[in-house]
């Protein structure tokens, strides 16, 4: 999705990415930096308060020890997403451990040990979010173990996890569209990830709602299935766009708009055509 950003916007996105990395490190330790991902950067830009400015700084870090890189100084949104990242990663590791054999899950057990201190700190900072994630993941896990779980049903359970970041204290005018946006964002991510994992899960036998609904034809996702999945992903993308238009502008609105209107449809096309992730071109 970064390919849809202009040069200036891409530089600002990278600065936010680095900002989240620094927030993870300063709040939860060096090991927490390894769980950094683009989805939580996007989330930070979405929930950024419209009245909070963006402060840019430069510093060296582990990833760039010789050249100072531009990054966003810590903010309410970055600190929150750092905590959310730790909690989400912790429960994802726990879920994998529960599903795999002891030896297959060993790397995830070691990762949990590394992350345990950070997780305990994140829970103290965001106890309500941790409780919601734990409950919703438990619901999702039970649903996925049913004989015939549907794509929509599983996506719905996952979408509620992302929506859990919304605070009841948030003004209603902002809470309602953001809640709708994050729900469909979670739904979109779950289905797109299932499509992206389709071939690997077909080989390994891992659970995948898209795979169980649309068995492979010659090892590929059937063409009629791809068309149906594109329709449902586009539907969620449209609802995300509608909700986004109701949100007040914040310092990241232009980047968010490009990611939603151009980046997500492009990612959808690439995932369903087997061309995700896009190949990087050296210039």
Domain contains 88: no
As given in the structure block, the two tokens for residue 69 are: 């890189």
Q: Which has the closest alpha carbon to 114: 145, 146, 89?
A: 89
**pLDDT at residue 281 is higher than 50:** no
How many other C-beta atoms lie within 10 A of the C-beta of residue 193? 15
Domain contains 32: no
Position 283 scores a pLDDT of 37
Tokens 């709708």: give the residue: 180
Domain contains 62: no
pLDDT band of residue 149 (cuts 50, 70, 90) is confident
pTM of the model: 0.89
Q: Are 159 and 136 in contact (CB under 8 A)?
A: no
Please give the share of the chain, as a percent, with pLDDT higher than 90.
68
Q: Are 250 and 42 in contact (CB under 8 A)?
A: no
Domain containing residue 226: 128-248
- What is the spatial distance between Cα 174 and Cα 47, in angstroms, rounded to a whole number? 10
- What is the spatial distance between Cα 24 and Cα 56, in angstroms, rounded to a whole number? 17
As given in the structure block, the two tokens for residue 202 are: 């077909």
Tokens 């492009």: give the residue: 266
Where are the alpha helices (H) located in the chain, listed in sequence order? 7-28, 38-47, 76-99, 106-125, 127-144, 151-163, 172-196, 198-204, 209-213, 223-245, 253-258, 264-272
Domain contains 183: yes
Number of domains in the chain: 1
Domain contains 202: yes
As given in the structure block, the two tokens for residue 218 are: 């010659």
Domain contains 96: no
Position 6 scores a pLDDT of 67
**pLDDT at residue 131 is higher than 90:** yes
Domain contains 230: yes
- What is the spatial distance between Cα 164 and Cα 182, in angstroms, rounded to a whole number? 9
CA 13 vs CA 9, 54, 164, 233: distances in Å: 6, 12, 24, 24
Mean pLDDT over all residues of the chain?
90
- Indicate the helix (H) or strand (E) that contains 59: strand 56-59
Domain contains 92: no
- What is the spatial distance between Cα 178 and Cα 168, in angstroms, rounded to a whole number? 12
Where are the alpha helices (H) located in 197-263, listed in sequence order? 198-204, 209-213, 223-245, 253-258
């Amino acid at each position: 999705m970064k390919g849809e950003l202009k040069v200036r916007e891409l530089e600002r996105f990278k600065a936010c990415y680095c900002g989240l990395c620094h927030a993870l490190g300063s709040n939860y330790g060096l090991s927490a930096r390894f769980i950094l991902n683009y989805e939580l950067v996007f989330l930070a830009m979405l929930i950024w308060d419209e009245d909070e400015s963006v402060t840019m700084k430069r510093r060296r870090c582990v990833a760039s020890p010789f050249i100072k890189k531009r990054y966003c100084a810590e903010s309410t949104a970055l600190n929150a997403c750092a905590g959310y990242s730790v909690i989400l990663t912790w429960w994802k590791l726990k879920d994998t451990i529960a599903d795999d054999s002891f030896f297959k899950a060993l790397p995830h057990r070691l990762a949990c040990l590394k992350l345990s201190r950070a997780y305990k700190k994140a829970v103290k900072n965001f106890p309500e979010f941790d409780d919601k994630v734990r409950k919703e993941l438990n619901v999702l896990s039970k649903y996925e173990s049913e004989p015939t779980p549907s794509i929509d049903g599983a996506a719905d359970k996952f979408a509620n996890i992302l929506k859990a970041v919304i605070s009841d204290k948030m003004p209603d005018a902002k809470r309602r569209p953001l809640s709708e946006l994050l729900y469909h964002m979670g739904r979109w991510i779950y289905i797109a990830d299932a499509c992206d994992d389709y071939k690997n899960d077909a080989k390994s036998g891992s659970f995948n709602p898209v795979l169980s609904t649309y068995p492979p034809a010659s090892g590929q996702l059937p063409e009629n299935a791809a068309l149906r999945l594109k329709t449902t992903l586009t539907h969620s993308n449209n609802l995300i766009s509608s909700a986004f238009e109701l949100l007040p502008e914040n310092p990241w609105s232009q980047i968010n708009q490009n990611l939603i209107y151009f980046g997500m449809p492009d990612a959808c096309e690439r995932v369903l055509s087997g061309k995700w992730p896009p190949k990087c071109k050296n210039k």
